[in-house]
Amino acid sequence: MDVRFLNPFISAAYNVLLEEAGVTAKRGEVKVDEFYYTSEEITVLIGVTGSVRGLVLYGLSQGTAIRLVSTILGKKIPYFDSLVESGIAELGNEIAGGATSELEANGYPCRISPPTVLLGKGVIISTVNIKGVTVPLETEFGPIQIVIALREESSER
């Protein structure tokens, strides 16, 4: 994976988490995989099309999701519900939107799909011939896994 496609998603995640939830994130060890096995309870999936194509996934526990959305909304949410699901989907959307804006500014015009939320551990998501880079982020609310599986689409450039 080209670091030109990786860094915008990492920096966008740092920025969105800080702006929306007032939380800083620390990056863990980056890992490259052929496919992504959902190790978390919630996964937000966002497709990317254009001169850069593939998927971006955000995985986190229900507890992390509840704490993040509670902080963003400024009220305690006692359990995972549709409001938390929607809030986490929007958080993933904001990160992907910020990252693709940076990609576009660097000469890689692309678009993102609306977020899809997968609930439950153990789903295998294949990125079909695109290696995914897993970037673990540690926050005070719990870990967040970002998987970035993108490639340059040469016919669009």
- At residue 66 the predicted structure's pLDDT band, cuts being 50, 70 and 90, is very high
**Whole-angstrom Cα distance, residue 152 to residue 102?**
15
Give the tokens for residue 131: 């290696």
The mean pLDDT value for 20-47 works out to 86
Domain that holds residue 20: 3-150
The pLDDT, as a whole number, for residue 157 is 42
User: What is the SS3 assignment for 138?
Assistant: strand
Establish if 155 belongs to a structural domain.
no
The mean pLDDT value for 95-111 works out to 95
Q: In CATH, what number is assigned to the domain containing residue 66?
A: 3.40.1550.10
Quote the pTM value.
0.90
Kindly provide the residue ranges of all beta strands, DSSP E only, lying in 24-123, ordered along the sequence.
26-27, 31-33, 35-37, 42-50, 52-60, 110-112, 116-119
Establish if 88 belongs to a structural domain.
yes
The mean pLDDT value for 109-133 works out to 88
Establish if 113 belongs to a structural domain.
yes
- At residue 4 the predicted structure's pLDDT band, cuts being 50, 70 and 90, is confident
The pLDDT, as a whole number, for residue 1 is 60
Look-up: residue for tokens 């290696």? 131
pLDDT for 155 beyond 70: no
Residue 90, sorted as left (phi over 0), alpha (psi -120 to 50) or beta, turns out to be: alpha
The pLDDT, as a whole number, for residue 37 is 65
